[in-house]
Amino acid sequence: MSRFHAPIAEQIWDMKYRLKDGAGHPVDGSVEDTWRRIARALAEVEAEPALWEDRFYSALEDFRFLPAGRITAGAGTGRTVTLFNCFVMGTVPDSMAGIFDALKEAALTMQQGGGIGYDFSTIRPRGAEVKGVAADASGPLSFMDVWDAMCRTIMSAGSRRGAMMATMRCDHPDIESFIEAKKDPARLRMFNLSVLVTDAFMEAVKADGPWELTFGGKVYRTLQARDLWNRIMRSTYDFAEPGVIFIDRINQMNNLAYCETISATNPCGEQPLPPYGACLLGSVNLARLVAKPFSDGAELDLAELDELVRLAVRMMDNVVDASRFPLPEQAREAQMKRRIGLGVTGLADALLMVGLRYGSEEAAARTEAWMKAIARSAYLASADLAREKGAFPLFEADKYLGSGSLTHMDEDVRAAIRTHGIRNALLTSIAPTGTISLYAGNVSSGIEPVFAYAYKRKVLQKDGSRTEEEVVDYAVRLWREQMGDAPLPDYFVNAQTLAPLEHVRMQAAAQKWIDSSISKTINCPEDIGFEEFADVYLAAWDQGCKGCTTYRPNEVTGSVLSVSEAGQAAPAEAPEPKGGEVVYLTDPLDRPAALEGATYKVKWPGSEHALYITVNDIVISGHRRPFEVFINSKNMEHFAWTVALTRMISAVFRRGGDISFVVEELKAVFDPRGGAWMEGRYIPSILAAIGGVIERHLIAIGFIEGEGMGLKTDPHADVQVLGVKAKACSSCGSYDLRMVEGCMTCASCGFSKCG
């Protein structure tokens, strides 16, 4: 009998986490094989591997502990990938050579699958003097454009695109340009942006005082702090970025404040890290730990939680030794501090199962109590590990115990650390869990509220037929199993019905016992007033949060798909929104014996031989769409990359959905040696020329409307959107994108640019 409670969970496992050989044939025959593979890999560093393999397996079983996707997909595979999720790169030098060395390091990190963060505050502002070359500096944003272009060309391990976070201090002279960079919807698409807000700035905002923009000891401009704050708020209100990071609070509360300074975070913000800092992630599934759900005696099993957390800490500590790293500096940083990021998922479901309304004062108090229990267990487990295996190399007891997040820790925990040391410098973090939450049976994600209690999903089969399935939240499914058709109680609320300040209350309650940070999106209604919106950020500051990320539907990032519940009505009784269909391909389509297509000739200036590009199409339900590509040339120097491009593009085409992003990505590739003029326009590279050919073909067969216009219609989906145009998922083509934990995430296939 399958361990999966829903088809989508099994499909996520098969697509993202199931080990397959080079030909695509499964090596993991079942999810139990996947758990065994992970358990065995993480037990190999133990003195008694067999003993710990079985214990680790028990933690993974039934989706109780969920290592992050990098670990689940990569552990025990023998592949050259990192098991770490989060990286902050080294300080960017304020020199041309240093900047491009940093760019190279970023590319190497993304190549192995790591999401990265960068602080661009170290680059001199636009217009500043560049001594020795009689020129003015182009400023940090121009170099961010270079990083963005690099990221677009790299696919992270596991077919995930690279994700990046860019931060800038609130006193940098280019901060105003940074704040408004994403007014252009085509600019910096690979970046999340956040402003590093200092305590001094917040004090100046509240006092309506002046604020100096400085670099290198020089004051470039003075303005009113409140005016700058309002510019941040207005941009976030209109375009959903930048986020806000309270950087002084992060450094004050850092366990390692005595030996590191933080100025950036990973792409989703839950991991503030020093230069070359790296962190791995994992989540305890609280929804699986509730005893007697929906009864008067429902409660979280704290004894089971303690045992599970202790096993999870040991497993994650072993990952530090089992993982590869893109750069030696990252390996050294990880070994010296051994930081891990143990978090939770299924919090909202667990609260529902014990009868509490997410966002209420009672739910916030229970959340704080659960987070404290996790922190206690994690710190005690790490102290035990230090007694057995040794403390992290930079541990200094007095300095460590005097750090901000340890001052309110229980005395018995502090005593254990003082006596034995601690194995892991930092232990807790709440990360995005969108994909692994689906994999675990569609439990609520991280500490987010339930987004949708149920929605319909159309699955396209190989023969062109479609089947329909309902994707139901984990807690709702349990309610139906126990209560039948009884309507959902009033305390079943979701992300759309919660007030923004209720989101803040929950984030602040969890933050007290999280030594790193939290990835959380505060959903705001489209019609929220600007002043009320800005008050959300002030509330986050006043209540002790380390950062704040909101999402309000807007014309740049789009809106979300209507979901199948109406208000708080039971999803089983609520009508499906008109045309709310989502298409997903479970497997690549089989190739018919014959296909129709066209061949195009491209003569790149300066090249002796032409390229010949053949695009073949398949007809599904009367609609023609591209199925495969062949690229040929007599130039043997082109052989390897044209074969690779042929295979990659064809594999994407055969998955279906909106594949027009392939054109977009190819056309964005630039050649550092220079492009060429073709047919009256400048083409930045031969790859961009190939992208243009494929685009013309898509226009010719009616798949897209015109140049640069993307998908014309999905032949299998008619969507209803709220207020503004919705965007399609670049992985599966569905219109089920939603902002989750600071990152736009597809609920149909789990794709997220943040990994």
* 421 Rama class: left (phi>0) / alpha (psi -120 to 50) / beta: left
The confidence score (pLDDT) of residue 162 equals 59
Contact between 88 and 277 (Cβ < 8 Å)? yes
CA-nearest of 607, 441, 548, 509 to 66 is 441
The confidence score (pLDDT) of residue 556 equals 60
User: What is the DSSP code (8-state) at residue 465?
Assistant: -
Q: In 321-395, which ranges are E strands? A: 340-345
The confidence score (pLDDT) of residue 720 equals 31
Low pLDDT (below 70) residues in the chain: 1, 113, 132-134, 154-162, 457-467, 555-590, 621-622, 656-658, 708-736, 738-743, 747-755
The confidence score (pLDDT) of residue 731 equals 56
pLDDT tens figures, 173-198: 999 999 999 887 778 888 999 999 99
Domain boundaries, the chain: 596-700
The confidence score (pLDDT) of residue 752 equals 67
Rounded Cα distance between 245 and 193, Å, is: 10
Planar angle of CA 37, 50, 306, nearest 5 degrees: 80
Catalytic residue IDs: 266, 268, 270
Q: Which residues of 660-698 are buried (b: 16+ CB within 10 A; e: fewer)?
A: bbbbbbbbbbbeeeebbeeeeeebbbbbbbbbbbbbebb
- For 416, residues 6+ apart whose C-beta sits below 8 A from its C-beta are 379, 380, 383, 384
Contact between 265 and 517 (Cβ < 8 Å)? yes
The confidence score (pLDDT) of residue 566 equals 34
What type of residue is 360?
S
Rounded Cα distance between 568 and 268, Å, is: 30
The confidence score (pLDDT) of residue 675 equals 79
pLDDT tens figures, 163-176: 899 999 999 999 99
The confidence score (pLDDT) of residue 585 equals 42
How many other β-carbons are positioned within 10 Å of the β-carbon of residue 554?
16
pTM score, whole prediction: 0.78
User: What is the DSSP code (8-state) at residue 478?
Assistant: H
CA-nearest of 203, 215, 117, 202 to 172 is 215
The confidence score (pLDDT) of residue 676 equals 82
Q: Give the helix, strand, coil percentages of the chain, each rounded to 5.
A: 40, 20, 40
CA-nearest of 698, 691, 693 to 624 is 698
Q: How far apart are the first and last CA of the chain?
A: 30
